[in-house]
Amino acid sequence: MPQVMVVARNFMDMVAALPASKLDMLYDSAFICEAVLRSLPPLAKKYALQMLYVLAPVTATAMEEWVREGYAAKHRVAIDKLLQLRVFVEVRDKRKEVSYQMNHKFQDNMQKYLVDGGCLPREPIPLSITGRLPSSADLETYALDQWECFLLQLINSSQVEKGSFSSSMMKTFQRGLLSSRDGEAPKLTENGFQFLLMETNAQLWYIMREYISSAEERGVDPTELISFLLELSFHYLGAAYSLNTLTDVQRVAIKDLAVLGLVKLQQGRKDSWFLPTQLATNLSASLSDSSSSKEGFVVVETNFRLYAYSTSKLHCEILRLFSRVEYQLPNLVVGAITKESIYGAFENGITAEQIISFLKQNAHPRVADKIPAVPENVTDQIRLWESDRNRVEMIPSHLYEDFPSKEWFEQCCDHARDHGYLLWEDSRRMRLIVRGEFHSEMREFLRRQR
Amino acid sequence: MTSAHSKLYSDDVSLVVVVVDTNPFFWATAALPFADFFANLVHFVNSILLLNHLNRVVVIASGVSSCAYIFDSSDASPAGGVGVAATFDKASRRVEEFIAQDARATAANSSAASANAAALLSGALSLAMCYIQRIFRSGTRHPQPRILCLQGSPDGPEQYVAVMNSIFSAQRSMVPIDSCIVGTQDSAFLQQASYITGGVYLKPQELNGLFQYLAAVFATDLHSRTFLRLPKTLGVDFRASCFCHKKTIDMGYVCSVCLSIFCKNQKKCSTCG
């Protein structure tokens, strides 16, 4: 889904934007190298693997011969990505020819990783100390509950059941998604609505990006946070890791992550430990299609009725964004997609594509196999309603009238038409409308004519 | 024959089924020792698993009289995945057990024991296709499968029919069969397999650098294959073997009903009557 790629690439862009020395420091950890490798587009991954054991630089022209004709653009994109993340380093020789070589640190670490495997900076605590650990099903429900609670907070700041979030942390998470005017409760912005309709992975990456960019304001080094987050995804799902193995920075971060449902904190008699949930272990799966086995729950019928087999409040709220919810039964939400409800969604800044992709992604397994998963008349109608709103296009412009003579008027018209900014002319009444940006040029022209 | 590129792949999640030739008669006289070859192979397996956390690899060994699954990357606990070092240990132990088992089976069935013995490619390809079919039925989100054959022994003409059947079923399911020849002679079966299914056929010149060949050519996922220039074979050996004596023939007699090939004119076709 294109949306996941956009957000994840932004996270990687953030990583790439780090200064070169910090980036090289990050590559000390084999896990971060692996996470970075996995985030590359497939062609770039292939190039990286090919160059893994090549010590001498390879000229750029030689590399261009690896692709077939017509795909040079893809090749360029892959090479750029590799250069941005400093996986490939440019080397210029005496003849000014460009060649690429793999970053030495990256290369050494990956070679070692392929032979030995990596070792995490911490080991799981044995069962004798922790006692019975929650099962993976428990962890999954815990993670989902926390995540839904967080999203519900976004939609309805007043209606929160588990009110144990620290306010400063909520502020950092909600930057850009909520806007609050004085005296009023915070409302969702356009980005906020679009955020709600995204896939879970995309949402996670968005939040992580916001968290890390706000880390600098709080005085926390973003490099450490990035390396901790990327390492977290390689921990064993459901195994307990002691909190003593974390640095101070990481300890603060872990509490915030627990609120989101990425880890579960538990306390024993003497130690306390954290267990990574599925949300954390799936963090490094940024570019590949989401590995969530979450089943869809929405059935859309050709008569514009919507049936959502879900008990979650969050799903109900999301559906309320663009459809009129009619009944809410213990396991079913029945609604209808109407013109008013869709117009309401458009007012909030949601686009038709987002609504349609949300419906497609969350299609109930019964209809998901059908082509198309959402009936065409519904998708076409949503798009038509969107284009209805765009019927009237507004362009700032200037009106010229009261021309003294006809030839002057004709000359102005021709001048405007030649330069492509004539919008409308009325030769009977000698009136002319020209794009707003070119007003000064028109004035110059008129002055020269006089 | 159309290639398998008509299918659109949107990401690079792949399932690679590696068919390894463990024929002891071939490896006894091969230029590259089996241990080195196997180390290269495990390294390659680890690098595929490295590229994408959803990638899966299955290794099938084909001996002289039997085949078996050696390694399946999804066997590991879902918690952390298989560690790199553990992969090597598990795979090596299992392959040694298999070679011993296969040697016992061959000794018991001494008709096949000769220096020119062929590996059981047909059995291994069938095992691979069965696994792949199971993956296809596992749901809408499954990795894109492909088969990689590492072959050194010569072709056994008696397996012609079975091998061609597996190749056609792979073509039907749009599963490319790649081949990498680690022996001295080209293999007609694998050339045909790669040609028909749209895979890559390669005979590396430098066997010590096997990993680099594997990583550069065979690690390419199906999505990227449309963009990259991969080795093309110049000529394919399309010779068939006759159904009656299993000899390789250039010219023969074909049944007009079922298209079975015979070397001598027969009144009644043994396949369809």
Residue B55 lies in a domain: yes
Residues B142, B185 within the same domain: yes
A15 versus B24: the higher-pLDDT residue is B24
Find the CATH number of the domain harbouring A442.
Answer: 3.30.70.2610
Could you tell me which of B153, B203, B143 has the C-alpha nearest to residue B178?
B203
What global pTM score does this model have?
0.73
- Domain stops at, among A282, A308, A342: A282
pLDDT at B51: 82
pLDDT at A234: 75
Find the CATH number of the domain harbouring B189.
Answer: 3.40.50.410
- Domain stops at, among A228, A247, A282: A282
Residue A276 with chain B: CB contacts under 8 Å: none
Residues B104, B207 within the same domain: yes
Residues A137, A269 within the same domain: yes
CB of A46 within 8 Å of a chain B CB? The answer is yes
B165 versus A102: the higher-pLDDT residue is B165
Residues A251, A309 within the same domain: no
pLDDT at A378: 93
Tokens 């590399």: give the residue: A63
Q: How confident is the model at residue B82 (pLDDT cuts 50, 70, 90)?
A: very low
Query: Residue B153 corresponds to which tokens in the numbers above?
Result: 């022994």
Residue A418 lies in a domain: yes
Number of domains in chain A: 4
B-chain residue closest to A276, CA distance: B79
Residue B20 pLDDT greater than 60, yes or no: yes
The most confident of A245-259, B124-138, B241-255, by mean pLDDT: B124-138
Residues A362, A334 within the same domain: yes
Residue B206 structural domain? 12-108+115-226
B-chain residue closest to A240, CA distance: B79
Residue B3 lies in a domain: no
Residues B212, B77 within the same domain: yes
Nearest-CA distance from B149 to chain A in Å? 20
DSSP conformation class of A330: S
Contact B74, B66 (CB under 8 A): no
pLDDT at A247: 77
Residues A163, A83 within the same domain: no
pLDDT at A76: 86
Residues A217, A273 within the same domain: yes
Residues A90, A39 within the same domain: yes
C-alpha to C-alpha distances, A51 to A311, A346, B71, B182, nearest whole angstrom: 50, 49, 27, 23
> Cα–Cα distance between A298 and A284 in angstroms, integer?
28
Residue A287 lies in a domain: no
> Cα–Cα distance between A6 and A187 in angstroms, integer?
25
Residue A53 with chain B: CB contacts under 8 Å: 211-212, 215
Number of domains in chain B: 2
Residues A346, A372 within the same domain: yes
Residues A313, A264 within the same domain: no
Query: Residue A414 corresponds to which tokens in the numbers above?
Result: 């021709």
pLDDT at A305: 94
Residues A132, A220 within the same domain: yes
DSSP-based three-state secondary structure for A404: coil
Residue A236 with chain B: CB contacts under 8 Å: 79-80
Residue A159 lies in a domain: yes
Contact B220, B228 (CB under 8 A): yes
pLDDT at B129: 94
Residue A138 structural domain? 127-282
Residue B81 pLDDT greater than 60, yes or no: no
> What is the pLDDT of chain B when averaged over all its residues?
82
Contact A221, A249 (CB under 8 A): yes
Residues A131, A275 within the same domain: yes
Residue B6 lies in a domain: no
Q: How confident is the model at residue B167 (pLDDT cuts 50, 70, 90)?
A: very high
Q: How confident is the model at residue B79 (pLDDT cuts 50, 70, 90)?
A: very low
Residue B234 lies in a domain: no
Residues B120, B204 within the same domain: yes
> Cα–Cα distance between B29 and B8 in angstroms, integer?
43
Residue B94 lies in a domain: yes
CB of A235 within 8 Å of a chain B CB? The answer is yes
- Domain stops at, among A116, A145, A177: A116
> Cα–Cα distance between A285 and B52 in angstroms, integer?
8
pLDDT at A444: 84
Contact A67, A36 (CB under 8 A): no
Q: Which of A128-137, B73-82, B130-139 has the lowest mean pLDDT?
A: B73-82
Name which of A65, A116, A288 is nearest B52 (Cβ-Cβ): A288
Residue B215 with chain A: CB contacts under 8 Å: 49-50, 52-53
Nearest-CA distance from A75 to chain B in Å? 9
Residues B216, B136 within the same domain: yes
> Cα–Cα distance between B192 and B102 in angstroms, integer?
27
Give the number of A-B residue pairs with CB atoms closer than 8 Å.
94
Residues A107, A209 within the same domain: no
Residue A288 lies in a domain: no
Residues B139, B262 within the same domain: no
For residue B113, which amino acid is it?
A
Residues A370, A403 within the same domain: no
Contact B23, B61 (CB under 8 A): no
SS3 for chain B is CCCHHHCCCCCCCEEEEEEEECCHHHHHCCCCCHHHHHHHHHHHHHHHHHHCCCCEEEEEEECCCCEEEEEEHHHCCCCCCCCHHHHHHHHHHHHHHHHHHHHHHHHHCHHHCCCCCCCCHHHHHHHHHHHHHHHHCCCCCCCEEEEEEEECCCCCHHHHHHHHHHHHHHHHCCCCEEEEECCCCCCHHHHHHHHHHCCCEECCCCHHHHHHHHHHHHCCCCCHHHCECCCCCCCCCCCEECCCCCCEECCCEECCCCCCEECCCCCCCCCCC
Residues B162, B102 within the same domain: yes
Say yes or no for a CB contact (<8 Å) between B79 and A236.
yes
pLDDT at B111: 63
Which portions of chain A are predicted below pLDDT 70? Answer: 1-11, 117-122, 124-131, 156-190, 284-294
pLDDT at A1: 36
Residues B131, B263 within the same domain: no
Residue A122 lies in a domain: no
Say yes or no for a CB contact (<8 Å) between A288 and B51.
no
Residue A5 lies in a domain: no
